Chains A and B, each alone.
Chain A
Amino acid sequence: MKKLTLFLFIFSLFLILNPEKKMAAESLQARIDSMKEGATLKLENKTYVGNIVIHKPITIIGSKDTVIKGDGTGNVISVKASHVKLSHLTVIHGSMDMNSSEEYAGIKIYTNNNVVEHVSVRDSFHGIYLSQSHHNIIRNNTIKGWGKNIIAEQGDGLQIWYSNDNLLINNTIDGTRDGIFFIYANNNQIYGNNISDTRYGLHYMYSDNNVFERNTFTMNAGGAAIMNSNHIKLKNNQFIFNYGNQSFGVLLLQANDNHIENNTFYMNQRGIYLDEATRNTFSKNKIIQNQIGVELWGSCNQQTFTLNHISENTLPVVTLGGTGHGNSFSKNGKGNDWGISFPLTDLDQNGIGDSSITYRSSLHQLLEDQELTTFFLKSPAINIYEMVNAFLNHDDVMFKDPYPLVTGKGSHTTIYLLMGLGILLVLILIKGRHRLCITFGRNGRKI
């Protein structure tokens, strides 16, 4: 009797000291284990303690404030059965251990045909991890990391490893190491995701035949780094403000036969950055207000640029490390629109300029030899440097567009406006010196 009393006392003490954790964990896992295949579990607005492992095809639906909190030792939710559906959950506190046998995540999926939607993941190494997992739908999820300055200590928003034919749609990823990391993952479709404040919004290795549409990559160290991958389609994406000393909108490194169409590259350090890439086509993209529009290394061959709008960049195109073979800035008699930087006439009004455009620059040598050059790309002194070197014949041809597209009427208005302002400035300096002095001095009174 004494022993029984002692046992009950210790057990009650244990429950008092750590009541919710043990019971809730056991109860959630136990409830999942006790469910029938195909059943639905509706969770309340409270915090459930993980970690949990799902071994049968079920649906778990949470509410606005449903939280599943891991114990920090592994994946918060491990999906080891097909046809599982998780929705409306907040998943937190996965393991951040980098010395373990596997990399952990908020939600790690090992199987096929699952759906994860309206789930928020934070405080975990990876957000959602597809591990040899195919035909899944990952949509409308929010994954938040620790910020883009933390690289090694955290994982990726979505990690897609040896996983094919998945649909990733309308996810929001912020502050993780990489936004979406693909490795050996083919035939995936990625639509409408919003990725910001990461190292690479999209990090891509050895993965082919994927389609990316309507995604937005903002304020990452690099928008999309596509490496060793072929036959990728990037359409209607926005690469905005990927802005740092080594930043880019899109990097193609050892990537071949990719189609980059109708994307916007705005205010990046480099809009498009190509190295050891072959047979890529860039069409109908807007490459505007970047410090370097297109950076093309000599190891790149057979790139085609057609129907792009490339304007207001400090350097529209720069060719470094020699000139590649077969790179072309037109296709089928259609070049690119180079904006007001290259005024053109179109007397036959066929939309193609009457003369070709040849762009020369002297900065390529500096950019090749001295990495500090990037600090000057926003300086107005660049224009003077280019003019002086052009005068001294120190510049080289960066590109030739034999069929440049003619800009619309709006750009002519800007030219006239700038000419008008210039004339006004000259008049003020010649005739209006006294007026200027009256304005700023003498209390505004005339002398």
Chain B
Amino acid sequence: MHYIWKEWKENIRGKGLWLSLSIIVLVSISVLIRSSALSFDKGFYVLLINLFDTIIYFIPILCLFIGAFSIFQEKEQKTLIMLITKKEKYSSFLFKKSLALYSVVLGPILIWFFFYQILLKFKFSIDVKGYFIFVFAILCLALVFLQMGSAIGSISRSRMQIVGASIFVWFYFFFLHDFILLSYLPNVTFEKVKLFSMGYFLNPLEAIRMYLETGMGVYSFGHMSRMLEAFMWTKPSIFLFGNLFFWLLVSFLLAIIFNRKEAFE
């Protein structure tokens, strides 16, 4: 609880959280305005998919920066040394710090999308389950990139390293990961498709998108070939939770193993 309170106070004083939130709010409002001509019944789904496709450019990089700089700040201000006492290891510090980060970042996002739903009610017929899935997808997106950011913050020794690493991670998941898979695509056979599928859904952006689109019922998987069935060998929600588990664990372990307690600059 102390960590949450501390994180909250630090973020209120800082600009990063407010900048991130204001971007999310502005993007959501602008997508709502652009979608005002859509039909009452189905416009809701079109809007949410468009919003997700737009917001996906911002949330990962912002969460990477928030997570990384939040950890780095502890090093910079020497509070990390104070917090890690004989009783507290780096792993327990990181765990508590991560929980604090989640609550401070995810809380306001959750509150905003609660208000956003009220705005949507004036324009569209709301599918509550679909909206819940959308919000959950956004929270998962923020969660996984916050944890990756925490790992970057733990490993980095300077702000320059943080900026570079964050942009690289964002670039990797946005472009490189799928580009590598696209290059392998002609060689994917029925025997290898399951492995390829795991590679595809290792990208959080793809796993979350698939969960969102199938969960809301907008993406149909009718008349699937054997190849497609083999590719979608489990439910999209399982792919999502597997992806979350993998990246949270990897980020956490990397942060613990390679953490550097000192900071330069």
Hey, which bits of chain A sit against chain B, CB under 8 A? 148-149, 151, 196-197, 199, 216, 218-219, 221, 240-241, 243-247, 266-267, 366, 369-373, 375-376, 378-382, 384-385, 388, 433-434, 436-445
The answer to whether B45 and A442 touch across the interface, beta carbons within 8 angstroms, is: no
Are A366 and B14 also in contact (CB < 8 A) when A246-B222, A379-B178, A436-B163 are?
A: no
The answer to whether A372 and B45 touch across the interface, beta carbons within 8 angstroms, is: no
B223 is an interface residue with CB less than 8 A from chain A: yes
Whole-angstrom distance between the Cβ of B172 and the nearest chain A Cβ: 10
B206 is an interface residue with CB less than 8 A from chain A: yes
Q: List 29 A-B contacts (CB under 8 A).
A: A196-B41, A219-B45, A219-B217, A219-B218, A241-B42, A243-B213, A245-B220, A266-B46, A267-B46, A371-B225, A371-B227, A371-B228, A372-B227, A375-B231, A376-B181, A380-B175, A381-B174, A381-B182, A384-B175, A385-B183, A434-B159, A437-B159, A437-B163, A439-B16, A440-B65, A440-B69, A441-B73, A442-B77, A443-B10
Which label, helix, strand, loop or mixed, suits the secondary structure of the B interface?
Answer: helix
The answer to whether B222 and A148 touch across the interface, beta carbons within 8 angstroms, is: yes
The answer to whether B209 and A378 touch across the interface, beta carbons within 8 angstroms, is: yes
Are A370 and B222 also in contact (CB < 8 A) when A240-B42, A381-B174, A437-B159 are?
A: no
B193 is an interface residue with CB less than 8 A from chain A: yes
The answer to whether A373 and B163 touch across the interface, beta carbons within 8 angstroms, is: no
Most A CB contacts (10 A, CB to CB) among B193, B217, B218 go to B218
Whole-angstrom distance between the Cβ of A417 and the nearest chain B Cβ: 13
The answer to whether A370 and B221 touch across the interface, beta carbons within 8 angstroms, is: no
The answer to whether B76 and A245 touch across the interface, beta carbons within 8 angstroms, is: no
The answer to whether B49 and A267 touch across the interface, beta carbons within 8 angstroms, is: yes
* Residues of chain B contacted by A440 (CB below 8 angstroms): 14-16, 65-66, 68-69
The answer to whether B225 and A442 touch across the interface, beta carbons within 8 angstroms, is: no
Complex: chain A residue closest to B223, CB-CB: A246
The answer to whether B179 and A381 touch across the interface, beta carbons within 8 angstroms, is: yes
Bound-state Cα–Cα, A443 to B13, Å = 6
* Residues of chain B contacted by A376 (CB below 8 angstroms): 178, 181-182, 185
The answer to whether A381 and B175 touch across the interface, beta carbons within 8 angstroms, is: yes
Whole-angstrom distance between the Cβ of A128 and the nearest chain B Cβ: 21
The answer to whether B159 and A375 touch across the interface, beta carbons within 8 angstroms, is: no
The answer to whether A218 and B39 touch across the interface, beta carbons within 8 angstroms, is: yes
Known: A149-B220, A440-B65, A444-B14. 13 other contacts (CB 8 A): A197-B217, A219-B218, A221-B220, A241-B45, A243-B213, A244-B221, A267-B49, A366-B186, A376-B182, A378-B209, A434-B159, A441-B72, A442-B76
* Residues of chain A contacted by B178 (CB below 8 angstroms): 376, 379-382
B53 is an interface residue with CB less than 8 A from chain A: yes
Contact with A along B198-212 (1 / 0, CB 8 A): 001000001001000
The answer to whether A216 and B220 touch across the interface, beta carbons within 8 angstroms, is: no
Whole-angstrom distance between the Cβ of B197 and the nearest chain A Cβ: 9
Bound-state Cα–Cα, A366 to B15, Å = 45
Are A384 and B179 also in contact (CB < 8 A) when A241-B218, A372-B185 are?
A: yes
* Residues of chain A contacted by B213 (CB below 8 angstroms): 243
Contact with A along B12-55 (1 / 0, CB 8 A): 01111001000000000000000000010110011001100100
Q: Which of B177, B196, B209, B219 contacts A381 (CB 8 A)?
A: B177
Are A442 and B73 also in contact (CB < 8 A) when A245-B228, A370-B185, A381-B174 are?
A: yes
* Residues of chain A contacted by B15 (CB below 8 angstroms): 438-440, 444
Whole-angstrom distance between the Cβ of A70 and the nearest chain B Cβ: 28
The answer to whether A441 and B76 touch across the interface, beta carbons within 8 angstroms, is: yes
Bound-state Cα–Cα, A375 to B200, Å = 9
Whole-angstrom distance between the Cβ of B106 and the nearest chain A Cβ: 17
* Residues of chain A contacted by B228 (CB below 8 angstroms): 245, 371-372
- Going nearest first, the 6 A-B pairs with the smallest beta carbon separation are A244-B220, A381-B178, A441-B69, A440-B69, A440-B16, A444-B14
* Residues of chain A contacted by B200 (CB below 8 angstroms): 375
* Residues of chain B contacted by A434 (CB below 8 angstroms): 159
The answer to whether A369 and B186 touch across the interface, beta carbons within 8 angstroms, is: yes
Complex: chain A residue closest to B220, CB-CB: A244
* Residues of chain B contacted by A243 (CB below 8 angstroms): 49, 213, 218-220
Whole-angstrom distance between the Cβ of B107 and the nearest chain A Cβ: 18
B176 is an interface residue with CB less than 8 A from chain A: yes
The answer to whether A245 and B221 touch across the interface, beta carbons within 8 angstroms, is: yes
Q: Which of A151, A241, A373, A439 contacts B14 (CB 8 A)?
A: A439
Most B CB contacts (10 A, CB to CB) among A149, A247, A441 go to A441
* Residues of chain A contacted by B49 (CB below 8 angstroms): 241, 243, 267
